């Protein structure tokens, strides 16, 4: 089969992956599931994998097939598989978990002691077929497009997980700020609208992103390159501040907004990454607020997100590309030229 594989780390996205002929995976374990990939989202994390940023966090044997946002049709199952059958349309949770370690027992899938992460530690979905397991696959409702929904496997569940954490602390009349209305942020904004009765301000330097935010239900938008974010947020909230900041950028500039715009007792949820948190401890103490990192989400949260998608509360803005176009996608995303999510159709 054809697969897009990383042979060595590089910062040159235009020729990052090569299209190789490799053996098709087999369901050679009792819990194994083989999925014919109909959609595999390209994510900013894939750029970071290409650059070698994940090597210190997750062992990687190169060459490796990338692609961790996967959906398609089940074509083979192991003898103990009960979740799905051949012919079922599924979305795949990002990790294959064991189910028996303590984090798994607590429902913390992303912290499984024995996890395998297709596209980061094992071969992923930028290929015709993907090997995953019974604990990772979620059957899709009739009528849900497996190509369009694929990015929800990571981008969607990541945004949903952060919003779910934030919404537990939000009340009617509170204010929330969404920083970055790109591939993750536009999903998070919709989840926030569906799950919490708050006023929403969206912050993005792109006019197109701010327009999209308004279309998706943001009550206010701010251009941080031209406007003072702190002044506007404090004016909108009568100097109370935002009870939650959902930061889908995670740069030094965006994490630096925390002490200026978070209300006392609120949180700055860091979803995007690449920058740093540089704040004196007294700023956190005086503001009685915190920074909270969020990592993807668990299996049941992906089920919940699929329910929101099926109900029409969350829609993805996607563009489709063939496997042969994959390096063009990587380079375009690196330049910030892709709106919404890019989906590879192997």
The residue extents of the domains of the chain are 2-154+297-345, 157-293
User: 157-293 maps to which CATH number?
Assistant: 3.40.50.720
| The predicted structure's pLDDT at residue 333 | 92
- For residues 44 and 321, the answer to whether their CB atoms sit within 8 Å is no
Per-residue pLDDT band for 56 (boundaries 50, 70, 90) equals confident
Q: Specify the CATH class of 2-154+297-345 in words.
A: alpha beta
pLDDT average, residue stretch 93-116: 94
The average pLDDT across 81-101 equals 96
Nearest to 250 by CA among 221, 291, 211: 291
Tokens of 95: 């990790």
Q: Is the dihedral of CA 176, 180, 185, 189 positive or negative?
A: positive
pLDDT at 339: 82
Dihedrals φ, ψ of 120, to 5°? -125, -35
For 160, the token pair is 């949903």
Pairing of strands 242-247, 175-179: parallel
62 within 8 A of 20, measured Cβ to Cβ: no
So what's the pLDDT on residue 172?
A: 94
Task: Give the mean model confidence (pLDDT) for residues 181-202.
Answer: 95
Residue 58 has pLDDT above 90, yes or no: no
pLDDT given for residue 205 in this prediction: 96
Position 238 pLDDT exceeds 90: yes
Helix (H, G, I), strand (E, B) or coil at 188: helix
Tens-digit pLDDT profile for residues 163-174: 999 999 999 999
* φ, ψ at 231 (rounded to 5°): -60, -45
Share above pLDDT 90 across residues of the chain, in percent, rounded to a whole number: 91
pLDDT at position 336 over 90: no
pLDDT in tens, 297-335: 999 999 999 999 999 999 998 999 999 999 999 999 999
Give the C-alpha distances (Å, rounded to integers) separating 155 from 42, 43, 105, 160, 344: 10, 8, 24, 9, 15
Q: What pLDDT was estimated at residue 57?
A: 86
Contacts of residue 104, Cβ cutoff 8 Å, sequence gap at least 6:
97, 98, 112, 113
Backbone Cα Rg of the chain = 20
The mean predicted confidence, pLDDT, of the chain is 95
Which residues, including other chains, have CB under 8 Å from residue 88's CB and lie 6 or more apart? 73, 74, 137, 139, 140
> Is the predicted pLDDT of residue 274 greater than 90, yes or no?
no
Evaluated on CA atoms 2, 3, 8, 11, the torsion sign reads positive
pLDDT single digits (tens) 108-150: 989 999 999 999 999 999 999 999 999 999 999 998 999 999 9
Q: What is the pLDDT confidence band of residue 340, given thresholds at 50, 70 and 90?
A: confident
Q: Where do the DSSP E strands lie in the chain?
A: 2-6, 17-21, 32-42, 64-65, 69-77, 89-92, 129-133, 137-139, 175-179, 199-203, 220-222, 242-247, 262-270, 290-293, 318-322, 341-345
pLDDT of res. 61: 92
Residue 246: per-residue pLDDT: 98
- Band of residue 2 on the pLDDT scale cut at 50, 70, 90: very high
Q: For residue 294, what is the DSSP state? A: -
């Amino acid at each position: 089969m054809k697969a897009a594989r990383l042979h060595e780390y590089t910062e040159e996205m235009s020729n990052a992956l090569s299209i190789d002929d490799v053996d098709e995976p087999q369901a050679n374990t009792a819990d194994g599931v083989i999925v014919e990939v109909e959609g595999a989202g390209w994510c900013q994390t894939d750029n970071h994998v290409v650059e070698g940023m994940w090597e210190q966090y997750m062992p990687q044997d190169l060459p490796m097939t990338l692609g961790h946002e996967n959906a398609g049709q089940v074509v083979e199952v192991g003898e103990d598989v009960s979740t799905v059958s051949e012919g079922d349309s599924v979305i795949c949770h990002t990790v294959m978990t064991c189910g028996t370690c303590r984090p798994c027992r607590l429902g913390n899938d992303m912290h499984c002691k024995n996890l395998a992460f297709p596209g980061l530690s094992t071969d992923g979905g930028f290929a015709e077929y993907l090997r995953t397991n019974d604990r990772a696959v979620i059957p899709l409702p009739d009528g849900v497009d497996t190509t369009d929904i694929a990015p929800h496997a990571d981008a969607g569940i990541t945004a949903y997980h952060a919003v779910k954490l934030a919404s537990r602390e939000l009340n009617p009349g509170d204010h929330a700020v969404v920083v970055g209305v790109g591939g993750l942020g536009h999903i998070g904004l919709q989840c926030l609208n569906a799950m919490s009765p708050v006023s929403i301000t969206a912050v993005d330097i792109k006019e197109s992103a701010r327009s999209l935010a308004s279309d998706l239900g943001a009550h206010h938008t701010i251009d941080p390159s031209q406007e003072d974010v702190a002044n506007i947020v404090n004016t909108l909230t009568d100097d109370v501040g935002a009870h939650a900041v959902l930061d889908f950028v995670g740069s030094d500039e965006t994490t630096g907004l925390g002490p200026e715009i978070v209300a006392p007792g609120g949180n700055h949820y860091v979803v995007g990454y690449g920058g740093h948190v540089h704040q004196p401890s007294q700023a956190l103490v005086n503001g009685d607020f915190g920074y909270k990192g969020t990592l993807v989400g668990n299996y049941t949260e992906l089920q919940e997100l699929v329910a929101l998608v099926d109900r029409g509360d969350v829609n993805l803005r996607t563009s489709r590309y063939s496997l042969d176009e994959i390096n063009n996608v990587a380079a375009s995303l690196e330049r910030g030229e892709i709106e919404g999510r890019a989906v590879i159709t192997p």
